[in-house]
Structure 1
Amino acid sequence: MEFDFSAILLGLTVLFGVVWGLDRLFLYKKRKARLDAARAEYRDPMPVDWARSLFPVVLVVLLLRSFVAEPFRIPSGSMMPTLDVGDFILVNKFAYGLRLPAFNNKFVDLGEPKRGDVVVFRFPGYLCHDGSALVRSGDMSCSDPHAPVQQQNWIKRVIGLPGDRIEVHGADLLINGEPVKADEVGPYQGNPQRTVDEVMLNMGATVWVEHLHREDGTVVNHTTAQMPAYTTPNSIPNDRVPSKVPAGCYLVMGDNRNDSLDSRWWGCMPEQNLAGKAFLIWMSWKGWGTGGVDFSRIGTVIH
């Protein structure tokens, strides 16, 4: 079961605020007068005392997580070697605009993602055929095109902007007809005692530095992993994903190119699903007996 922590925080903020506010409006004066007349020490009832104490705390946490920065943990290897399983990251929540907590509706526009940004977003669902139409489904097999989509946060790298023409054929990536260059670094180095590393080592993974050119002339140089022996990813275009990125949408891919469930399978990521831009690794935990805390990754800026 997936929990929307922002929705929980919003609900608690409203609950504590309502309990405390209603008490102060309708009950506090009579209760205090009664206790003063009896010369008894004044104390708020326990529910009111809890609401009064917790309301400002929960409100501050809600505001910080919604509009400043939110922590996330990397659960899978789809962004390796850039982001490792067990990395704890911070996400800039105002990079692309301010959004209402839980509802995710943008009410202040502060910019749009750039090619090469690492973004966190709510998974939009798999693209499934329903007659002549394509619909979003929570069922990867598409046996139930109308299965509800779980509220999950995913992380990928922006490859295609609205209006871009994207082609993907195996390891070859073309943006607007231009091949994206990548330089091989060498074999992937990892700890074979970790399952995610063991798979990559057994599949002969190699590390590359990819060069993504932005419209402003800057270049994002970032690492990717390739292991063709593991799986052959979908090409773009395909029967669900067109070459041209639609308006209000972004094509995203994982840096672990042969082990990432991304836009090559489920299409573009709608702008309204954006949660923010990943910018910092503040903690990295490799697991008991397989590295523990990886101090070398703490403080790493995400590119």
Structure 2
Amino acid sequence: MIKKLIKHKNIILIIITILIIRSFIIEPFRIPSGSMIPTLLPGDFILVNKFCYGIKIPIINKKILNINKPQKGDIIVFIHKNKKKYIKRIIGIEGDKLEYKNKKLKINNIKIKNKKLSKNIDIDKMFIIETVIYKEFLTPQKEYNIQKYENIENYNTDIEIEIPKNSFFVMGDNRDNSEDSRAWGFVNEKDLIGKAIIIWGSIDLDNYIIRKDRIIKKIK
């Protein structure tokens, strides 16, 4: 009887520990779409650091402790206006004047540099798609890869805005195939869940094959 009680007690402690970790420290998230290609692929399983920006009370989502401010270049998971969880990259923070025209990005009147890395031509249902991978230099400390479709016009309206207080302008790394702040506006700081930090596993959803090269991979 005593052994059973101890066993049940240990199980309860394990469950409580998992709930605490998930609520305050680390939360798993699966990449559902291709909006963050080439950085994140559909079928990637990632971990989100919920502690790095501060501590929030679950359910009511009220912050009780500030730790770090989100930075330009961070990949964040947040609650969208439709109550679903989204993942995008922070491109601009409060006070930034941001301009996006003809697929060119400017922040505070400074053109963000891109370096072409590769180009690939695919034929999809008799339509030619020119996919180009660039390295984007958002800040002197932050660089990462993005993807553009060179022969497809930007589907979003060109924009020129100033980012308000406690808000962020986010975009997908797959610039021509991402519904983001260009379409539906800013992300408010209160809606942040956390920062994406690591890919712990990945499955090719078309072929149901494990992508071994993406296991335990730091997210840039």
Does the 8 A contact of 2:102 with 2:158 survive in 1?
Answer: no
| Corresponding residue for residue 159 of structure 1 | 91
Q: Paired residue for 1:262?
A: 180
Offset of residue 94 of structure 1 = 0.7
- Name 2:42's counterpart in structure 1: 85
Identity of matched residues, %: 35
> Contact 2:132/2:150 (CA < 8 Å) preserved in 1?
no
Aligned ranges 1:108-119 → 2 under 5 Å? 108-119=65-76
Say yes or no: does 1:203 pair with 2:129: yes
Match of 1:274 in 2: 192
For 1:184, the equivalent position in structure 2 comes to 116
Q: Is 2:181 the partner of 1:224?
A: no
Q: How far apart are the structure 1 equivalents of 2:114 and 2:150? A: 16
Partner residue, 2:219: 302
**Structure 2: segments with no counterpart, 5+ residues:** none
Greater helix proportion:
1
Distance (Å, rounded) in 2 between the aligned partners of 1:56 and 1:102: 21
Runs of 4 or more, structure 1, over 6 Å off, are none
C-alpha distance after superposition, 1:72-98 (max 9, x if no partner)? 110100000000111111111111001
| 1:173 aligned partner | 105
Q: Which moved more, 1:52-61 or 1:161-170?
A: 52-61
State the distance in 2 between where 1:288 and 1:259 align.
Answer: 19
Counterpart amino acid of residue 98 in structure 1: I
User: Which secondary structure does the structure 1 equivalent of 2:58 belong to?
Assistant: coil
Distance in 2 (CA, whole Å) between partners of 1:103 and 1:91 is: 19
Distance 1:152 1:282, change over 3 A: same
Alignment partners' CA distance in 2, 1:219 and 1:295:
29
Once the two structures are superposed, the pairs formed by residues 70-81 of structure 1 within 5 Å of their partners are 70-81=27-38
Q: In the alignment, which of 156, 163, 188 is matched to residue 234 of structure 1?
A: 156
* 2-structure distance, mates of 1:236, 1:176: 16
1:68 is matched with: 25
**1:96 & 1:236 partners in 2: Cα distance?**
31
Amino acid at match of 1:212: L
SS at match of 1:289: coil
**If each structure's strand is expressed as a fraction of its own residues, which one has the higher value?**
2
The secondary structure found in structure 1 opposite 2:21 is helix
2:97 and 2:163 in contact (8 A); partners too: yes
- Offset, 1:187: 1.7
Distance 2:45 2:128 in 1: 26
CA-based RMSD of the aligned residues comes to: 2.7
Letter in 2 for 1:163: G
- 1:152-210 deviation line (CA, Å, top 9, x unaligned): 110000000001000001310000000000001112499x9xxxxx69x9522110000
Describe the superposition over 1:256-298 as per-residue Cα deviations: whole angstroms up to 9, x where unpaired.
Answer: 00000000011110000000000111101013636x1111111
Does the 8 A contact of 1:170 with 1:235 survive in 2? no
Residues 98-137 of structure 1: matches in 2 within 5 Å?
A: 98-123=55-80, 125=81
Distance 1:159 1:268 in 2: 11
Distance 1:288 1:236 in 2: 34
* CA distance, structure 2, for counterparts of residue 83 and residue 98 of structure 1: 26
Give the letter for the 1:90 counterpart: L
Whole-angstrom CA distance in 1 between matches of 2:86 and 2:153? 21
For structure 1, the residue ranges without an aligned partner over 5 or more in a row are: 1-40, 126-148, 193-197
Query: Which of 210, 214, 219 is the aligned partner of 1:293?
Result: 210
